[in-house]
Amino acid sequence: MKRIFFFIIVNIAILLVLSIFLYLIGFEGILQQNGVDLNYHSLMIFSLVFGMGGSFISLYMSKWMAKSLAGVQIIKLPRNDFEKWYFETVKKQSNILDLKMPEIGIFQSEAPNAFATGASKNSSLIALSTGLISKMNKSEVEAVIGHEMSHVANGDMVTLSLIQGVINAFVIFFSRIIGHFVDRVILKNDRGYGIGYFFTVIFAQIILGILASTIVCWYSRMREFRADIGGAQLSGKENMISALKALEKFSAAKLPDQMLAFGISNKGQTSTFQKLFSTHPPLRKRIQALENKNITTITNQHPAA
């Protein structure tokens, strides 16, 4: 219930902020002054504001959402041996990658998982599940941390938000063009918009959104391979492979929807249709990709691209 409440509040806040922004810039709607024809310039502004704006506001709120929705407990002062080791490991990898030390935290979940989020490379958060900490040895946990630190170093959170924002803008833009066509040509409404327009826009936005999400998921899968290589460079190839094999043995932690793409594992999918909408490749493929690649552990420089 708490997660649903936060989700609703966040989305209402985003809509409110973007609506105020449109009002302040003098936006008057997507129709031309005659109230009949579509104003493509206004529609483009509307689509970009809500598409890109919503995506980047979510990005800038991502650490807050992680703490609120995933229940991440931030470690400010290490209280035990593991937390001290966790802190020193992240600090060491941050120095290697020439990054500002991210916030670190732990969230409650019996299954092993981890994620990285944040608005920029130097304003990030790394979080581990309690299940990952209890079920993996330190070499494997170090590899998982390296994987997440590689996401941060590669700027994956920003790039994924940019891609999502562009796709959102296209979906908003074309769904309203389709709605306008149905309202004017098929339903022959010649003033304002009727209920047919709104139903068509909602339906088109759902269908286009589902199709467009395959692009976001494809990029997300590709970045997992890169982050695995980064994790292997930071902690050792065998440690990264061992960590992925450990993840195979357990079910992935259930993260909030907003965090799923940033987790180290969602177990992948088996059917062709499911694979199109999976944010992660199957763990077996990730293991095979590492096994077939020559990787050198680094200690004092940024890993090769």
User: What residues are labeled active site?
Assistant: 148
Q: Which one, of 104, 157, 161, lies nearest residue 133 by Cα?
A: 104
Q: How far apart are CA 222 and CA 139, in angstroms?
A: 24
Q: How many DSSP H helices and E strands does the chain contain?
A: 11, 4
Q: What is the DSSP letter of 186?
A: I
Q: How many CB atoms lie within 10 A of CB 183?
A: 23
User: Nearest-5° angle of CA 254, CA 64, CA 135?
Assistant: 35
Q: Which one, of 106, 100, 48, lies nearest residue 73 by Cα?
A: 106
Q: How far apart are CA 301 and CA 195, in angstroms?
A: 59
Judging by beta carbons within 10 Å of its beta carbon (0-12, 13-18, 19+), is residue 231 exposed, middle or buried? buried
Question: Which 3 state secondary structure label does DSSP give 73?
Answer: strand
Place of tokens 């940024």: 302
Please say whether the beta carbons of 269 and 275 come within 8 A: yes
Read out DSSP for 113-145? -EEEEEEETTEEEEEEEHHHHHHS-HHHHHHHH
Place of tokens 């310039």: 41
